[in-house]
Amino acid sequence: MTRRKLAPGRLVIASHNAGKVREIRALLEPFGIEPVSAGDLGLPEPEETGTTFAENALLKAHASAQASGLPALADDSGLCVAALGGAPGVYTADWAEKQWFEAQTLGGPGRDWYLAMGKVEGKLAEQGPDVDRSAFFICTLALVWPDGHEEVFEGRVHGSLAWPPRGTMGFGYDPVFVPLGRDLTFAELDPTEKHAMSHRADAFRKLVEALF
Ligand SMILES: O=c1nc[nH]c2c1ncn2[C@H]1C[C@H](O)[C@@H](COP(=O)(O)OP(=O)(O)OP(=O)(O)O)O1
Ligand SMILES: [Mg+2]
């Protein structure tokens, strides 16, 4: 299929994760796009039944594009830990169980990120003190138009897992992820620094190159 360019105008960010929406807004800012989030439009959160990042990103983008009549950009992402055979991977959000409490400083709505980071650390610790702590974040972006046209891009950032969690910026698993070549976690880095190197920024760079 031929590439389709993204024209300036309204676009739905097909995500219900406030941290992601904030980052995607910042990445879109230079491009004359007016982003509205799926939450702003009151769109429901689709069930993520896919077994790959691309399937889930496409499923979320199609749902928002159809419901809104606007192009929709979805992000399916996750943390892949080498010593855990790539887990939690596509199930990264599921490892952070939904709790009854209100949104946490570092999380999407009601997800318990500290519990999730603790689960990852617990499984690493089972393998002893010399366990390989390397991990990467992956981000698959799917852009879908109301007529069904699809574009998909993937980005990664490699690094290692720290324990205990450090820092208050970012969201999700940021307090335990140290990108390669740095000593600070993503939650300790200024957002502009995270945007220069993150999996989301990497995927976004490819999107911009292809679609603008
Ligand atoms: O930069 C990141 N820094 C820290 N953690 C991250 C990042 N990027 C993804 N993650 C983790 C948390 C997220 O929840 C999960 C992906 O799950 P994923 O289904 O794609 O997102 P989600 O359910 O939170 O929001 P939504 O599906 O509405 O976009 O991986
Ligand atoms: Mg999700």
| Catalytic site residue from 40, 75, 76, 202 | 76
Dist CA 56 CA 112 (whole Å):
21
What structural domains does the chain harbor? 9-211 (3.90.950.10)
In this predicted structure, what is the pLDDT of residue 99? 65
Strand residues in the chain grouped as ranges (E)? 9-13, 33-37, 72-81, 134-144, 150-161, 177-179
pTM reported for the whole predicted model: 0.94
pLDDT of 126 reads 97
pLDDT of residue 108: 46
Is the C-beta atom of 36 inside 6 A of ligand 1? no
Q: Residue 80 CA: which ligand is closest? A: 1
pLDDT, tens only, 126-150: 999 999 999 999 999 999 999 999 9
105-132 pLDDT, tens per residue? 444 446 788 999 999 999 999 999 999 9
User: What would the two tokens of residue 211 be?
Assistant: 């679609």
- Choose between 156 and 109: higher pLDDT: 156
Residue closest by Cα to atom 13 of ligand 1:
93
pLDDT at 164 over 80: yes
Are β-strands 9-13 and 72-81 bridged in parallel, bridged antiparallel, or unpaired? parallel
pLDDT of residue 123: 97
- Atom 15 in ligand 1: residue holding the nearest Cα: 93
Q: Buried b vs exposed e over 106-116: b needs ≥16 C-beta within 10 Å?
A: bbbeebbbbeb
State ipTM.
0.98
In this prediction, what percent of the chain has a pLDDT beyond 90? 88
User: In the predicted model, what is the mean pLDDT of residues 169-181?
Assistant: 96
Does the CB atom of residue 17 touch ligand 1 within 6 A?
yes
Q: Give the Cα separation of 212 and 201 in Å (integer).
A: 15
- How many beta carbons lie within 10 A of that of residue 164, not counting itself? 10
Per-residue model confidence as pLDDT tens digits over 40-86 = 999 999 999 999 999 999 999 999 999 999 999 999 999 999 999 99
Pocket flag, ligand 1, residue 21 (CB < 6 Å): no
End-to-end CA separation in angstroms for the chain: 17
Omega before residue 30 within 30° of 0, cis: no
75 is in an annotated binding site: no
Whether 202 is a known active-site residue: answer no
Residue of 68, 71, 77, 70 whose CA lies nearest to 96: 77
Is 64 annotated to bind a ligand? Reply is no
> Who has greater pLDDT, 199 or 110?
199
For tokens 């610790």, the residue is 125
Tokens of 75: 């992000």
Please tell me the predicted confidence (pLDDT) of residue 112: 83
Q: Which of 138, 140, 144 is nearest to 153 (CA)?
A: 140
188 lines ligand 1 (CB under 6 A): no
Could you give phi then psi for residue 80, rounded to 5 degrees?
-115, 120
Instruction: Tell me if 68 is assigned to a ligand binding site.
Output: no
103 falls in which pLDDT band (50, 70, 90)? Answer: very low
- 108 CA: nearest ligand 1 atom: 24
Which amino acid, residue 150?
Answer: E
Query: At a CB cut-off of 8 Å and minimum separation 6, what does 209 contact?
Result: none
Ligand-binding site membership of 200 (annotated): yes
Average pLDDT, the chain: 93
pLDDT at 207: 96
